[in-house]
Structure 1
Amino acid sequence: MKILSIAAIKGGVGKTTLTFNFGEWLAEKGNNILYIDLDHQCNLTQTYDIYDSENTVKNIFTNTGKVNIHEIKENISLIAGYMKLDAIEKDLENKVNKDMILYMWLEDNYEHLKLDKFDYILIDCHPDFSTATRNAIAISHSIISPIIPSEHGYNAKFNIEDRLQDFKKEVINYQTRESYITANLFFVANMIKHNTKSSKELLEVLNDDPDVIGIIPEKELFNRSTLDKTSISTMKKDNKIYLKQKKFFNEIENTFSNIQKSI
């Protein structure tokens, strides 16, 4: 099993859209996927028409009982988000192990929830570095952070890099001084327009960065996929759409393949 957090400090970078489509793509390849929605906006959860208020991720952080693992499709499952998760985070502020709650939950529930059946766990994080996001990173093997062409888009890259380094120094084994935080951080350039100055400048800066493992062109059908509740993998099966957008579908295939290899 591989655990992947999709995280960003800056909002509006296509984080949930990337999570949704990459998970659907992995499932299409025959992998068994579990989504965990830690964004209190719950966009990923609602993409699958789930509107739970009970047995959500809230119960992971409050130790009040079970969570429901919704079987969306044959090989896609989801633990629903909770819209007041930010309030739960505030209540945890003074808890000693607040950043390792998800880690402990995973250890306690791995066998009886049969989590070993999943090939990938994808965690959609809120655009910040608060408690829930730190919990996700604590259990992750890799982090994917989307970057977009904007005035502050590239600065967000340095922001999350610095936050991650500080986090690794904080959460350590005091005997060995080794960090419990072992996730590798990667970046995906998203919403790239090949005919704009900002996109060209971003790609030039990222060109030699080995941690940048994918580029996703600006396309309305990709940006709207969560709103339309239809993944790129599903769209591709429509021959008319595929032929019209063949170049884009091929670019997405290459990017997702590279992400899978890198993580």
Structure 2
Amino acid sequence: MKILSFVGIKGGIGKTTLSYNYGEWLATKGKKVLFIDLDHQSNLSQTYNVYDQDGTVGVIFTGNGQIKIHHVGDNIDLIAGDMHLDDIETSIENNTNKNMLLYMWLSDNYDSLNLGQYDYVIIDCHPDFSTATKNAIIVSHDILSPITPSEHGYNAKFNLQERINEFKKEAIDYTTRKSYVTAQLWFVANMIKHNTRSSHDLMDALKTEREKGDNSCIAVIPEKELFNRSTLDHESIAKMAEEHTIYNRQREFFDEIDSTFTKITDKL
């Protein structure tokens, strides 16, 4: 089982859209996926028309109640987001183990909930570096963060790197001095247009980084309304590609996304 978290410091970078489409793509490849929605806006859950506030991710952090796992598609299950997760985070702020609650929940429920059946656990985080996000980072094998063609979008890359490095030093086993944060941080250039200065500047900056030995940006997702609207329309790119009329009309784009997701999977 591989645990991936989609993390971003700022909103509007396509994080939920990317996590949704990547998970759906994995499912079409025969992989069993569990989504965990740690964004209190619950956009990922609502994409699957799950509004149920019983048995949400809030249980992980409060210990009150039982988690409900929703079967939302072929090879896809979901633990729904909690719209009051920000309030829950505030209520546990003084708990000494607040950053380890998801780690402990996964360990305690691995057998009883048959979590080992999943090839991938994909965690969609709120765009911040709060307690829930830190919990996701601790349990993750890899972290994926979209960066977009804007000054602040590119700077967020360094902001996130610095915060994770600081957190890595903070979240340690005091007996062994080893960090609980072991995840590799990767970036995906998202919403890239071929005809804008901001996109060219971002790609040039990433090229310069590669020349200096920084290969942390592993994929490029083009700006495409079809992709951006997939969560709003509740239909993933992978599902759209199964419709021959749409596929034939947008063959190049669908093939590019398939190639990109394959590249990401191979890298992870």
Deviation at 1:238, TM superposition (A): 1.5
Once the two structures are aligned, what percentage of the paired residues are identical?
60
Choose 12-21 or 200-209, whichever is displaced more. Answer: 200-209
Q: Does 1:235 find its partner at 2:235? A: no
Q: Give 1:49's aligned residue.
A: 49
Within the candidate set 198, 210, 218, 2:215 is matched to 210
1: CA distance, partners of 2:66 / 2:137? 22
> Counterpart of 1:50 in 2: which secondary structure?
coil
Deviation at 1:62, TM superposition (A): 0.2
Cα deviation per residue 1:190-246 (whole Å; 9 max; x = unaligned)? 000011110011011112131111100000010000000000001111122112211
TM score, norm. by length of structure 1 = 0.99
Choose 171-180 or 50-59, whichever is displaced more. Answer: 171-180
Q: Give 1:124's aligned residue.
A: 124
2: CA distance, partners of 1:219 / 1:245? 11
Q: Give 1:253's aligned residue.
A: 258
What amino acid maps onto 1:242 in structure 2? Y
> Counterpart of 2:231 in 1: which secondary structure?
helix
Cα deviation per residue 1:129-165 (whole Å; 9 max; x = unaligned)? 0000000111000000000001201100001100100
> Counterpart of 2:254 in 1: which secondary structure?
helix
> Counterpart of 1:226 in 2: which secondary structure?
coil
Q: Give 1:262's aligned residue.
A: 267
Structure 1, unmatched stretches of 5+, are none
2: CA distance, partners of 1:14 / 1:173? 34
Q: Give 2:5's aligned residue.
A: 5
Structure 2, unmatched stretches of 5+, are none
Deviation at 1:175, TM superposition (A): 2.5
1: CA distance, partners of 2:16 / 2:75? 19
Q: Give 2:183's aligned residue.
A: 183
Q: Give 1:58's aligned residue.
A: 58
Deviation at 1:74, TM superposition (A): 2.9
What amino acid maps onto 2:170 in structure 1? E
Deviation at 1:172, TM superposition (A): 0.8
Q: Give 1:88's aligned residue.
A: 88
> Counterpart of 2:143 in 1: which secondary structure?
strand
2: CA distance, partners of 1:236 / 1:217? 16
Segments of 4+ in structure 1 off by > 6 A?
none
Q: Give 2:144's aligned residue.
A: 144
Deviation at 1:16, TM superposition (A): 0.3
Cα RMSD for the two superposed structures:
0.8
> Counterpart of 1:205 in 2: which secondary structure?
helix
> Counterpart of 2:72 in 1: which secondary structure?
strand
Q: Give 1:73's aligned residue.
A: 73
1: CA distance, partners of 2:158 / 2:14? 18
Cα deviation per residue 1:67-99 (whole Å; 9 max; x = unaligned)? 100111231000000001000000111100100
> Counterpart of 2:83 in 1: which secondary structure?
coil
Cα deviation per residue 1:164-197 (whole Å; 9 max; x = unaligned)? 0011000112232211110100000000001111
2: CA distance, partners of 1:118 / 1:242? 29
> Counterpart of 1:123 in 2: which secondary structure?
strand
2: CA distance, partners of 1:201 / 1:160? 20
Deviation at 1:7, TM superposition (A): 0.4
Deviation at 1:30, TM superposition (A): 0.2
Cα deviation per residue 1:23-58 (whole Å; 9 max; x = unaligned)? 000000000000000000000000001111111001
What amino acid maps onto 1:89 in structure 2? E
> Counterpart of 1:3 in 2: which secondary structure?
strand
Cα deviation per residue 1:98-117 (whole Å; 9 max; x = unaligned)? 00000000010000000000
1: CA distance, partners of 2:145 / 2:187? 5
Aligned residues: 263
